[in-house]
Structure 1
């Protein structure tokens, strides 16, 4: 499976939409998109996960690293609309309380 990533930014905030499976092989696509936005100094990133069917630890690490870097820059990262399977992973790992 593949991961498609698109970004849209305006007035200091951005929306990243991911569709497909977020895993060891596809996570670099999301990482590249997030890194590009971080270089642009956006202060808020919303990652739309409504189209992500699966996410492994590599994908979670990409999201955590981006959140940490954005917080260091005074911004915030939000996860939006995760599917039940992804939401379950967030809950089991305790990351649902980190991404609030």
Structure 2
């Protein structure tokens, strides 16, 4: 069974691609996340403020694309992101 995750594409006022994730990101739905990120060219702002859970499979997707991502996260995800070292590779807003 796939964990519920909603991904919505958009654009910021400056034209930067925006991908908003809502739900949980785990091994059952990381392919959808990877596909959504790969379908967007250039820099992507990934809004994780609606994400309640992020596991190592989700982190792997983010690490593989860190060079073209900026993240927006809540304090809920701060420990996972900080311990993983992802903020050393990309900008993370909201930590």
Shorter-normalised TM-score: what interval? 0.7 to 0.9
Deviation at 1:91, TM superposition (A): 1.0
Name which of 57, 69, 77 aligns with 2:69.
Answer: 77
Say if 1:53 and 1:83, in contact at 8 Å, map to a contact too: no
Name which of 25, 28, 33 aligns with 1:25.
Answer: 28
Name which of 81, 88, 96 aligns with 2:79.
Answer: 88
Deviation at 1:12, TM superposition (A): 5.7
Give the whole-Å Cα distance in 2 for the aligned partners of 1:50 and 1:21: 11
- Which one has a larger percent helix, Structure 1 or Structure 2? 1
TM-score, reference length from structure 1? 0.77
Aligned residues: 88
1:85 aligns to what SS in structure 2? coil
Alignment of 1:7-86 (within 5 A): 7-9=9-11, 13-37=16-40, 42-67=41-66, 71=67, 76-80=68-72, 82-86=73-77
Report the counterpart of residue 3 of structure 1 in structure 2.
5
Give the whole-Å Cα distance in 2 for the aligned partners of 1:95 and 1:14: 20
Task: Please provide the CA RMSD for this pair.
Answer: 1.8
Deviation at 1:27, TM superposition (A): 1.1
Give the whole-Å Cα distance in 2 for the aligned partners of 1:95 and 1:43: 19
Deviant stretches of 4+, over 4 Å? none
